[in-house]
């Protein structure tokens, strides 16, 4: 038992306010700790400041209130981040014949999207040659998506204007079969070039790294940190677990992302809020165990 906790309990024992279990803990500690025994002997039973036990209790109550406030705040923050990410997460729409209507106006191609499309993203890529053509191809990738927040608030009609001279090929990213849909290919560069894979960042590798870190920390808890307080052990292993949980909350079971920076920011923020929640709960319980007095 921590000496500071014992010294907080000693005045209560002197005043006969502590429970039998608390008195037993103090007595057992005094048998092995000379400093606490000297402190115990230095207190005159008849001259103990009568407010000291109450001050101790006030301190414990104030700490509990602080941790309780942190728990509520971190819980609210976690729920807000998860709901906000869910409502604003772009949800890609697979290509269908009625998804896009195209028209031309001179050198300009005008793409008009279906009413359920609330956001359109583009990505430019200088790719290697298709079908053994020697020239590099400047490609434009298009993504149509929606968010639940846009549908709640109402989104405007989405159109995209592209200059034909700026690109050799125009793709629609999500064709439903792991390939991109060719929307514009005047030079037939993609003929016999095979399936065109979507450019995506895979978050699965980060999950694996976090899981390995969790296993390492778990092993340390049973070796180097085996004598540490259980709540400290929980705080040690919580961070990688919080990241893994956050990834599933933000990405679900599909770790592929068309917007990796945005997804990663939300994953990190949600990881922080979940860790803060667990951290404050563990501090609260640790503090409660230290200062809990049986009636």
pLDDT in tens, 158-204: 999 999 989 988 989 887 666 788 899 888 877 655 555 555 667 88
On whether the CB atoms of residues 81 and 270 are closer than 8 A, the answer is yes
The overall average pLDDT reported for the chain is 80
Question: CA-to-CA distance for 230 and 26, rounded, in angstroms?
Answer: 21
Beta strand 137-146 with 169-172 is parallel
pLDDT of 46: 47
On whether the CB atoms of residues 167 and 142 are closer than 8 A, the answer is no
Closest of 284, 254, 248, 292 to residue 266, by C-alpha: 248
Please give the DSSP secondary-structure letter assigned to residue 223.
T
pTM, full prediction: 0.57
Radius of gyration over every alpha carbon of the chain, rounded to an integer in angstroms: 31
Question: CA-to-CA distance for 215 and 5, rounded, in angstroms?
Answer: 33
pLDDT of 294: 40
pLDDT in tens, 107-161: 999 999 999 999 998 888 776 555 555 456 788 889 898 989 998 888 788 999 9
What's the average model confidence in pLDDT over 8-26? 79
pLDDT in tens, 46-89: 454 545 555 555 665 666 677 777 778 877 887 888 788 788 88
Question: CA-to-CA distance for 240 and 209, rounded, in angstroms?
Answer: 9
Helix (H, G, I), strand (E, B) or coil at 147: coil
Question: CA-to-CA distance for 137 and 63, rounded, in angstroms?
Answer: 64
């Amino acid at each position: 038992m921590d000496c500071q906790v014992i010294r907080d309990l000693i005045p209560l024992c002197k005043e006969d306010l502590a429970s039998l279990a608390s008195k037993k803990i103090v007595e057992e500690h005094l048998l092995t700790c000379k400093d606490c025994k000297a402190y115990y002997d230095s207190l005159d039973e008849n001259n103990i400041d009568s407010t000291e036990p109450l001050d101790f209790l006030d301190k414990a109550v104030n700490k509990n209130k602080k941790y309780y406030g942190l728990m509520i705040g971190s819980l609210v923050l976690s729920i807000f981040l998860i709901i906000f990410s869910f409502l604003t997460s772009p949800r890609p729409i697979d290509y269908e014949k009625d998804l896009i209507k195209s028209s031309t106006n001179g050198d300009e191609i005008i793409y008009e999207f279906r009413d359920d499309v609330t956001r359109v993203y583009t990505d430019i890529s200088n790719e290697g040659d298709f079908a053994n053509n020697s020239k590099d191809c400047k490609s434009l990738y298009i993504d149509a998506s929606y968010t639940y927040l846009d549908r709640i608030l109402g989104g405007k009609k989405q159109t995209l204007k592209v200059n034909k001279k700026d690109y050799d090929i125009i793709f629609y990213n999500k064709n439903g079969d792991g390939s991109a849909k060719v929307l514009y290919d005047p030079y037939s560069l993609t003929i016999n070039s095979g399936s065109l894979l979507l450019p995506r960042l895979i978050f699965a590798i980060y999950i694996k790294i976090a899981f390995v870190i969790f296993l390492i920390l778990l092993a340390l808890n049973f070796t180097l940190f085996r004598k540490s307080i259980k709540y400290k052990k929980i705080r040690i292993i919580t961070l990688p677990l919080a990241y893994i949980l956050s990834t599933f909350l933000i990405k679900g079971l599909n770790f592929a992302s068309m917007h990796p920076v945005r997804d990663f920011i939300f994953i990190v923020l949600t990881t922080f809020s979940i860790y803060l929640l667990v951290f404050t709960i563990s501090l609260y319980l640790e503090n409660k165990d230290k200062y809990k007095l049986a009636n």
